[in-house]
Amino acid sequence: MPLLVLASGSGARRELLNRLGLPYCHAAPDIDETPRRHETPAVLAERLSREKALALAERYPDHLIIGSDQVASIDNELLGKPGGIDAARQQLQRFSGRRVSFLTGLALLDTRHNHCATHVDLTSVDIRTLSAQEIEGYLEKEPAIDSAGGFYMEQLGTALFDSVETTDPSALMGLPLITLCRLLRDAGVNPLLK
């Protein structure tokens, strides 16, 4: 069985991949995540996922390298990670009472055959109408300044939601496991078999 590598420094992605019970190692790739001119959120999520996997290809020959990236958008406008409390506050104010799209890219690079399969998962989140006090309370308890959208779905961020539409609940947390399992099976790795 080829060895798995998670091309990510994200603890949340490692926790998700641990669910599959497969041995793997992880390394954080160094790529430029700047969106390109006229790049749609879906294209950006797919490109960054692929580039993360490709960035580790030379270090990990004969491996399956998993790359993933998530971007948020509202009205098809790309939203970055807030990076600070003020920006997170502004994003949450803008999201209040609105639908936000999360596009989670996934790439599985098979360095044995120089083949990279990709997928982008769309998750739509309806945010409740939030009061200023709720936004401040959330930011005080969980300042998610390094997360697309400015909240952590896997933690207190769910209290911000009215509803979620998705084909893969793990995608919103950063790694679409349903699609990953399919891509792994296609590459000869089945989490259900030894």
Contact of 74 with 98, CB cutoff 8 Å: yes
Catalytic residue (choose from 30, 32, 62, 69): 69
Non-local CB neighbours of 63 within 8 Å, separated by 6+ positions: 2, 3, 4, 5, 111, 112
How, if at all, do strands 77-79 and 3-7 pair? unpaired
32 is catalytic: no
DSSP string, the chain: -PEEEEE---HHHHHHHHTTT--EEEE------PPPTT--HHHHHHHHHHHHHHHTTTTSTTEEEEEEEEEEEETTEEE----SHHHHHHHHHHHTTSEEEEEEEEEEEETTTTEEEEEEEEEEEEEPP--HHHHHHHHHH---TTSTTSS-TTTGGGGGEEEEE-S-HHHHTT--HHHHHHHHHHTT--TT--
What residues are labeled active site? 69
